[in-house]
Chains A and B, each alone.
Chain A
Amino acid sequence: MSDPSEKIRCDACPVLCYIKDGMAGACDRYANRAGELVRVDPHVILDRTLEHGGQIVPFGHRDDWSGDLMEDHPRFVTAIGAGTTYPDYKPAPFIISTKLDGIDMVTVVTEGIFSYCGVKIKIDTDRYLGAEAATVRARGEPVGHVTTGEYGSQMLSLGGVNHLTHGGKKEGRVTCDTLLDLCNRKPVELAVDGGATMIVQAGCAPIVNGVQEQRMRVGCGSAAIGMFAQQWFGQVDEVIVVDDHITGVLSEHQAGKVLGVRETGIRIRGRRSTPGRYFHVAAPGAGWGGTNLDDPLSIIEGFDPSKAWPGLSLLMVSTTGEHAAYFRLDDALRPVEHAKPPHIVAFVERIRENCEPALSTVLFMGGAGGSLRAGVTENPVRLTRSVKDMLTRVTSGGAPVYVWPGGGITFMVDVMRLPANAFGHVPTPAIVAPIEFTLTLADYEALGGHMAHVRPAEALHASFAHLVSPDEVNPWPLDHLDPGGRKPRRKGGA
């Protein structure tokens, strides 16, 4: 595999475009995906040879190629571009049989129309995006809400049936457009009521109030103290890691105590949780460590004169190292800012170095528990049971999914792991997403599958399809599916 940062030269036509990673050529049909030249128009068939350095098999009307898609190499037919047979009393568009190590396997391929679906977005930022449960809007319409704050990130939950179909007509349409763009990795502008306006794009850094986020925090303020206390010990008298959630103070923190850091007599505003860990030192905002602070000294009430001493050195730093200032106490025990000496600069740089790049990540979540199952089997609940019993593997565009426990087939998939532009929509409004069910032919027959519609993969003609290299981080969809099935792991089972 070539270096993904390098541009590649496409030789599909005489234009010979140079294409950068993640970009398409002038034709919009060939793209550079992590250094590999791939086709990006449906119907998509994952071609396993590509990941082993093979060449893209041409398609179309060529003299030098028989046109059989399945010759030579293992392929997996994805549902991208497969179409649908809604209302699904008809068998799914493609029910494909393949042989895997001598076992006959079946993959039922359909594009599901998901009225019940949404996206879960994780935005790596310390900046204040809005209050929990605040409404998130796109083009003025409510499309979801702010949900929990998680480690170094803020979660948004968008879509769902209440916005797609139970709100106003425009609300449903805008929600559908927003979900579609996010799933197809396009940028979307979102505004939180009483909070930030941001541009979110799967796999890219979030842009919050016009500022592109660079780093995800190294940890909370207290965690940062724990991580680096030993490196700081003896080099600086006091360190305060400013954090809207948990601000850490070296000399009071357990890590400082264990090392024997001398008490500094510092008094911090906010509510002390445990020694050296403070909540609510300021209000949330776009300043230091996700607070509204521009002047970090405003969180210091003062120094106890019986413990502090003139010349005491103090580093104040945010959880990403993006903000930092260095002070020494004067004779009146007031902090005075000084230029950061080289070892202090190195401490701040170490924090920055340990921050991961900030990203927005998007998981599509949809429920395939409804009529779609009838396109797979005449007895839909058996498909649900088969998925729960892990006899049937669910994939979305060939990407692995997480099937939520409990009733139905509600799954989540990282949109970055599907081939490009895998999602569509219908005006209902609803999102069209690819879904494939893979199981043994014997199991398929047992659950009441549409046996008369099973076609061998070799029967798929090239003109239907094009080939893409699978995402190398995805497991091959047909691998490790135990033909005998796994024993159901049910609590209380025999």
Chain B
Amino acid sequence: MKERPACARLPDGARLNLSHGPIYLILQAFGTPAAVHAAEQAAMRRFATILDDLCAELPLLRSPACPSGQHPQGATACRMTDAVRPFAAHGFITPMAAVAGAVADEILAAMTGAASLEKAYVNNGGDIALHLAAGSAFTLGIVESINSPHIAATARISAESPIRGIATSGWAGRSFSLGIADAVTILARTAAAADAAATLVANAVDLPHPSIRRRPATDLQPDSDLGARPVTTFVGSLEQPAIAEALRKGRQKAEQFQAEGHIIAAALFLKGHGFNTGDLALADAPLAVLPKTSACPPAHQTMQRISVHA
């Protein structure tokens, strides 16, 4: 029974919810009423075929990226491929690592192409594309746990900042992770780039440890692009040195990506510990890392969720 793309206005009367299969977008445009209407119409038109377009090229998008490989046809698929190619030298990655961010970028591009907006965001399950005209800004809020939703940290992103994409990855999230990070949040120039980098940095937060359970990805999802690679299914208690070592490896990767210009900043979280990298001066206020608290929720409930405030 095929479900069609669905569109709903959220109860606040402002945000729009577009969903189809695994895609679940919340978006909002700011500007004159006519501009907002035109942007929303454009978003819906683009959304109507975006999943079908992607699925038409799934086998290629699930194959490992290589710098000289075949280029896909679709616009969103090209965004995915472009986002992951710079990381291909760092190890295994497929364009699917950037799918959520690329969809957000693609819908945002449709909106900004149709109308002159003050600002806009497209949030695809935590992977967010931003549009900021001169003089405007967004405040990002980070929620420590989806079970106790309160804003634990904020970062203000203004038009002068190059940041236009935010993405979060972790083993307990919707997508599989090869690492054990509860969450890795990346700020980058596009949501697709942030998505790809978050995947790789979250993979890097890792170490061998008996408290960690892993299973071949294909045991869980037979058509996963990760094949038989072991994905994390449970992270038990870890000693302090193990947490520090896993975070250190993630930090190394994040700093490398930053030095190569792929990302602007990163925040890493594991078992209530974390830190950030990057030139946070690019954000008007630093993306403060959560202090270690006794209120740390269990790892499998800890998933950073980012909200955008006008």
Contact = CB atoms under 8 A, between A and B. Distances in A.
B275 interface: no
A139 B147 CA distance: 18
Contacts of A23: 220-221
Interface stretch (A11-19, A309-317, A377-385, A412-420): A11-19
A425 B223 CA distance: 34
Contacts of A26: 21-22, 174, 221
A27 B6 contact: no
Given A25-B22, A61-B6, A19 B221 contact: yes
Contact of B236 (A14, A28, A58, A199): A199
B134 interface: no
B300 A27 contact: no
Interface magnitude class on chain B = 20 to 34
Interface string A24-45: 0111100000000000000000
Nearest to B301: A177
A483 interface: no
Contact of B294 (A12, A15, A170, A189): A170
Contacts of A14: 2, 21, 51-52, 55
A61 B6 CA distance: 8
Contacts of A17: 221, 223
A210 B300 CA distance: 19
B136 to A, nearest CB: 33
A19 B300 CA distance: 22
A427 B221 contact: no
Interface string B3-31: 11010000000000000111010000000
Contacts of A181: 298, 300-301
A62 B222 CA distance: 31
A20 interface: yes
A17 B223 CA distance: 7
Interface SS majority for chain A = loop
B219 interface: yes
A18 B222 contact: yes
A177 B297 contact: yes
B7 to A, nearest CB: 8
B213 interface: yes
A210 B210 contact: yes
A187 B297 CA distance: 15
B295 interface: yes
A60 interface: yes
A56 interface: yes
B58 interface: yes
A7 B221 CA distance: 9
Interface residues of A, number: 34
Among B4, B22, B219, B222, max chain A CB count under 10 A is at: B22
Nearest to A14: B55
Among A13, A56, A61, A186, max chain B CB count under 10 A is at: A13
A217 interface: no
Contacts of B236: 189, 199
B211 A12 contact: no
Contacts of B237: 139, 189
B298 A177 contact: yes
B220 A27 contact: no
B281 interface: no
B6 A60 contact: yes
A56 B1 contact: yes
Contacts of A60: 3, 6
B238 to A, nearest CB: 11
A64 to B, nearest CB: 10
B148 interface: yes
B294 A13 contact: no
A25 to B, nearest CB: 7
B234 interface: yes
Contacts of A61: 6
Contacts of A28: 22, 174
Contacts of A11: 1-2
Nearest to B58: A15
Among A60, A62, A425, max chain B CB count under 10 A is at: A60
Interface of A: 7, 11-20, 23, 25-28, 55-56, 58, 60-62, 139, 170, 173, 177, 181, 186-187, 189, 199, 210, 425, 427
8 contacts: A7-B222, A13-B22, A14-B52, A18-B223, A26-B221, A58-B3, A187-B234, A425-B147
- Would you list the 7 A-B pairs with minimal beta carbon distance, nearest first? A13-B21, A27-B22, A14-B55, A18-B222, A26-B22, A189-B236, A18-B223
